[in-house]
């Protein structure tokens, strides 16, 4: 079977899809690592090959025509099939053993990933999973550098240069030791008071830190931390000594709260301190095969929790 005359290259179809996803030819060019004039020339060549006008070019930018949108709709399954083909060929090169490289933030790795991987293994027992655990910024860098096929992070906003999917919401809680004065306060704690208190913080790059800093920053720049610690476990241990309050995931705090070794401090705005769990990937290589299935498992489990 031969391809019909005029069949375009996959790269230029991928470029056109990027224009549709990002809303501009310049942004699509940056995603593909080429100049805007080069991107424009490639789209013009595609238009000549297809005998269709795909973009309306104007002084304020470029927009897809109706024909362009239709070509994009047809191109997406073609590109997905090509990516799946690439995954399959890579698996053959690796000795026919599928390998999935996952990077996850510490909270997700400790409290979510084991369940997700167990479900994945029940469907695809032949897949070998390599898991890298880091903070959210480091996870995103592993994805960008192609050291991970898919990443799982938490934080207040999606990364601008990566594809992402919201999986669910994680509640953050203020905790103190039973000996801390806040453990016996009568009224709820205001966010302004929390911002004015030296807290136990995660290190820069942590999704927890970013989420808390953004919320408290509305009420003035948070004061200097009592300490910056590299893991939630270390923060919990420090909080138990009554050295300072901490803001941590409810998932992490739950065992300590049940045992009474930490006390939750209610807030005047109980819904303010939340963050989102997300799956992230390189825009040109959205999840396929086991990676796509893992993201679907994660989203389903989070919606049920």
Q: Are 279 and 140 in contact (CB under 8 A)?
A: no
For residues 159-187, give the mean pLDDT.
91
Q: Are 177 and 240 in contact (CB under 8 A)?
A: yes
Distance from C-alpha of 161 to C-alpha of 150, rounded to nearest angstrom? 14
Residue 60 has pLDDT above 80, yes or no: no
**Orientation angle between helical segments 36-50 and 10-22, nearest 10 degrees:** 110
Distance from C-alpha of 304 to C-alpha of 124, rounded to nearest angstrom? 22
Distance from C-alpha of 60 to C-alpha of 63, rounded to nearest angstrom? 10
Q: φ and ψ at 59, to 5 degrees?
A: -65, -25
With bands split at pLDDT 50, 70 and 90, how would you rate the model's confidence at 203? confident
Domain with CATH 1.10.10.10 in the chain: 10-93
68 C-beta neighbours (distance < 10 Å), count: 23
- Tokens 């820069």 correspond to 204
For residues 24-46, give the mean pLDDT.
89
Q: What is the pLDDT of residue 167?
A: 93
Q: What's the pLDDT tens digit per position in 253-263?
A: 999 999 999 99
With bands split at pLDDT 50, 70 and 90, how would you rate the model's confidence at 53? very high
Distance from C-alpha of 304 to C-alpha of 155, rounded to nearest angstrom? 20
Q: Are 119 and 297 in contact (CB under 8 A)?
A: yes
pTM of the predicted model as reported, rounded to 2 decimal places: 0.64
Q: What is the pLDDT of residue 33?
A: 87
Q: What is the pLDDT of residue 93?
A: 63
Q: What is the pLDDT of residue 298?
A: 94
Residue 274 has pLDDT above 90, yes or no: no
Residue 1 has pLDDT above 70, yes or no: no
With bands split at pLDDT 50, 70 and 90, how would you rate the model's confidence at 218? confident
User: What average pLDDT is seen over the chain?
Assistant: 89
With bands split at pLDDT 50, 70 and 90, how would you rate the model's confidence at 183? very high
Q: Are 164 and 279 in contact (CB under 8 A)?
A: yes
For residues 22-39, give the mean pLDDT.
88
Instruction: Locate 200 and state its tokens.
Output: 């136990």
For residues 146-154, give the mean pLDDT.
94
Q: What is the pLDDT of residue 3?
A: 66
Pairing relationship of beta strands 163-176 and 263-265 according to DSSP bridges: antiparallel
282 C-beta neighbours (distance < 10 Å), count: 19
Q: What is the pLDDT of residue 141?
A: 94
Pairing relationship of beta strands 99-105 and 200-202 according to DSSP bridges: unpaired
Q: Indicate the CATH number for domain 10-93.
A: 1.10.10.10
With bands split at pLDDT 50, 70 and 90, how would you rate the model's confidence at 236? very high
Distance from C-alpha of 154 to C-alpha of 133, rounded to nearest angstrom? 13
Q: Are 251 and 170 in contact (CB under 8 A)?
A: yes
Going by C-beta distance under 8 Å and a sequence separation of 6 or more, which residues neighbour residue 124? 98, 290, 293
- Tokens 């690796």 correspond to 94
Q: What's the pLDDT tens digit per position in 79-121?
A: 988 888 877 776 666 555 578 999 999 989 999 999 999 999 9
For residues 120-148, give the mean pLDDT.
92
Instruction: Locate 160 and state its tokens.
Output: 């601008």
Q: What is the pLDDT of residue 182?
A: 94
**H runs (alpha helix) in the chain:** 10-22, 25-31, 36-50, 66-93, 106-111, 113-123, 136-144, 191-195, 207-217, 232-240, 250-259, 290-304
Q: What is the pLDDT of residue 206?
A: 86
For residues 240-259, give the mean pLDDT.
92
Domain with CATH 3.40.190.290 in the chain: 169-275
Q: What is the pLDDT of residue 142?
A: 95
For residues 127-143, give the mean pLDDT.
93
How far are the Cα atoms of 147, 167, 171, 189 from residue 193, in angstroms, in the given order? Answer: 42, 31, 19, 7
Q: φ and ψ at 113, to 5 degrees?
A: -55, -45
Q: What is the pLDDT of residue 303?
A: 78
Instruction: List the single range of 45-49, 57-61, 283-287 with lowest mean pLDDT.
Output: 57-61
> Cα 208–151–106 angle (5° rounding)?
40
Residue 126 has pLDDT above 70, yes or no: yes
- Report the top-level CATH class of 169-275: alpha beta
- Tokens 């489990």 correspond to 301
- Tokens 């799982």 correspond to 152
């Amino acid at each position: 079977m031969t391809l019909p005359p005029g069949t375009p290259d996959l790269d230029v179809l991928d470029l056109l899809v990027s224009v549709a996803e990002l809303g501009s030819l310049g942004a699509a060019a940056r995603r593909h690592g080429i100049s805007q004039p080069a991107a424009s020339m490639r789209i013009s060549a595609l238009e000549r090959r297809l005998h269709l006008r795909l973009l309306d070019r104007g002084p304020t930018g470029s927009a897809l025509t109706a024909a362009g949108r239709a070509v994009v709709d047809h191109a997406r399954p073609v590109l997905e099939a090509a990516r799946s083909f690439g995954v399959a060929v890579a698996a053959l090169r690796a000795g026919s053993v599928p390998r999935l490289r996952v990077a996850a933030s510490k909270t997700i790795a400790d409290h979510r990933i084991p369940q997700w991987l167990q479900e994945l293994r029940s469907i695809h027992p032949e897949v070998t999973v390599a898991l890298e655990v880091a903070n959210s910024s480091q996870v995103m860098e592993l994805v960008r550098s192609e050291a991970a096929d898919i990443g799982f992070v938490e934080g207040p906003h999606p990364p601008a240069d990566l594809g992402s999917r919201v999986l669910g919401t994680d509640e953050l809680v203020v905790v103190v030791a039973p000996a801390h004065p806040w453990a016996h306060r009568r009224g709820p704690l205001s966010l302004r008071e929390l911002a004015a208190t030296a807290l136990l913080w995660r290190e820069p790059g942590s999704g927890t830190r970013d989420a808390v800093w953004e919320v408290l920053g509305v009420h003035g720049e948070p004061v200097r931390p009592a300490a910056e610690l590299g893991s939630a476990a270390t923060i919990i241990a420090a909080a138990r000594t009554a050295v300072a309050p901490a803001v941590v995931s409810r998932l992490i705090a739950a065992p300590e709260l049940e045992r009474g070794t930490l006390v939750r401090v209610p807030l005047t705005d109980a819904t303010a301190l939340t963050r989102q769990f997300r799956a992230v990937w390189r825009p040109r290589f959205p999840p396929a095969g086991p990676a796509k299935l893992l993201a679907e498992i994660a989203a389903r489990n989070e919606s049920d929790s």
